[in-house]
Structure 1
């Protein structure tokens, strides 16, 4: 004798489906991501259609930079704590974030000079030069410059964050201190110094890295750290280059809205080397 399941109740199934799709009492996707706040933060000031592109481009870049800082600070802490495998994962993620930022310039480059000129008056003195997150990234990577505190002096809370980043050891500072703890001959001047001052390359630091690179098998994790730093700076250089090329394409050689020389300033930044001995040692191998 066979038994059959009772026929399903169509009305009950519909009610269950409605209950499953009802998020009035449960957290939804939009609730979790706070999409109401996020998607209402785009407030064009001009009547020009293309301003939305300009706003979204820069807001999404700031979101990626927030994640970059999250990963960089953790990576620096792990290097300082001799936990290199964890740091490697985070540094690789930072390099991939930079790749995202590079591709974002491809979208902004669709804005033509007349389209940008139509919205430029509405920007007043606002400029990416004033991005406190970008400045904290530069400081975390070692490009220290106390003059860059100036654009944030009007906001004590932001000034305190940027100033703290200026005075903290950079990623490269912590890498060199790690080399010294491992017994490599890093000059004392590069292990204890005023971290707010710009980094200065040193032949002794290059010799310490050369010891690592000439015997990778003995110093494998330090060798891998050197290559992670190389990847990171290569990605950062590409990000800077795409920035300057996009700005030149859109505004030419006009001065920046924030008062900089525009393309001239950005081109000078291309010459900044964050981890100099990591690059110079290659000629000595």
Structure 2
């Protein structure tokens, strides 16, 4: 005998019918189905606003995927920034377990970020070209949320705040991140407070300048790795930072491959040399001494 949708416990119709029956009988646990305004879910998540932000400018279907993927990444950038800042602040407060917890959370968000490139993996050059002119000079290079992350990683650059001077609050926020220690800076300052031979130039310096690799810092990390006792929180911290660094490089490389596949070596929309700049950035080690250390261990 055939089962109708109303009889199938896996169908929406069955759930709606069952919920209505429970509600009419006054049973506990029945979901509320009647609202005189947008549902609390829509209100809390801002669904109407969120979905209204995907505004393609052409008829090319691939443009919707491009916009949505970019917006998802922007949201995840803000989440990762919050988590890295919380980890940095925990390190400044000598709270290594707290910092480790935040770094572990950030790894999950970073994995989703890297996986987001899959949404654009099969975009062809022809599809991209059909909407490329529609976004004019817009470029990911101009993302202030991404710039926030780069500053936290130690890739400081005062001129990179300049594109956002028309957004005073954004520029102020970036200046704050620019002028204070980043995530790796906080880790090195912690090592120094714990008695490791971190040079003074890495403990107090002009934080607006990009971090420069120092062999003395490599030596300090080598001493951390020499202590393999279970529960060595500084070793756990070093490996957690490596997890972050590796995921940053994965994301950069996926970015490079996405651009190479869709537009090759043509100039970027924001005026950069596109592929060349991305390749150089992908090759740059994050937290360099932690990588260099592996040459000698």
Same fold judged by TM-score > 0.5?
Answer: yes
2:87 — aligned with what? 75
Structure-1 separation of matches of 2:43 and 2:159: 41
Alignment-derived partner of residue 136 in structure 1: 148
SS in 2 for 1:75: helix
1:255 aligned onto 2:287: no
Partner of 1:245: 257
Matched, 1:277 2:289: yes
Deviation at 1:217, TM superposition (A): 2.1
Deviations 1:34-69 (Å, cap 9, x if unpaired)? 111111111111222221111101001111111111
* 1:5 alignment partner in structure 2: none
Q: Which residue of 2 aligns with 1:28?
A: 40
How far residue 154 of structure 1 moved from its aligned partner, in angstroms, is 2.5
Q: Give the one of 180, 187, 191 matched to 1:175.
A: 187
Q: Does 1:204 align with 2:216?
A: yes
Unaligned runs of 5+ in 2: 1-19
TM-score where L is the length of structure 1: 0.91
**Between Structure 1 and Structure 2, how many residues are aligned?**
276
Identify the residue that residue 14 of structure 1 maps to in structure 2: 24
Superposed, 1:189-200 pairs within 5 Å as: 189-200=201-212
Deviates more, 1:146-155 or 1:221-230: 146-155
Q: 1:13 to 1:229 in 2, by over 3 A?
A: closer
Scaled by the length of structure 2, the TM-score of the pair is 0.87
Check whether the contact 1:129–1:258 (CA below 8 A) recurs between aligned residues. Answer: yes
Distance 1:78 1:48, change over 3 A: same
Q: Distance in 1 between matches of 2:37 and 2:129?
A: 48
Q: Which residue of 2 aligns with 1:3?
A: none
Structure 1 equivalent of residue 165 of structure 2: 153
Decide whether the 8 Å contact of 1:212 with 1:219 is kept in 2.
Answer: no
Q: Could you say which structure has the greater relative contact order, defined with CA pairs below 8 angstroms and 6 or more residues apart?
A: 1
Contact 2:248 2:286 in 1 (8 A): no
Gaps of 5+ in 1: 1-9
Q: Deviations over 1:123-178 (max 9, x none)?
A: 01011110000000010011112221222223222211112111110101000000
Pairwise CA RMSD: 2.1
Residue 166 of structure 1, aligned match among 170, 174, 178: 178
Query: Which residue of structure 2 lines up, in the alignment, with residue 96 of structure 1?
Result: 108
CA contact (8 A) 1:184 1:208 kept: yes
In the alignment, the residues of structure 1 paired with residue 130 and residue 163 of structure 2 have an alpha-carbon distance, to the nearest angstrom, of: 25
SS at match of 2:61: coil
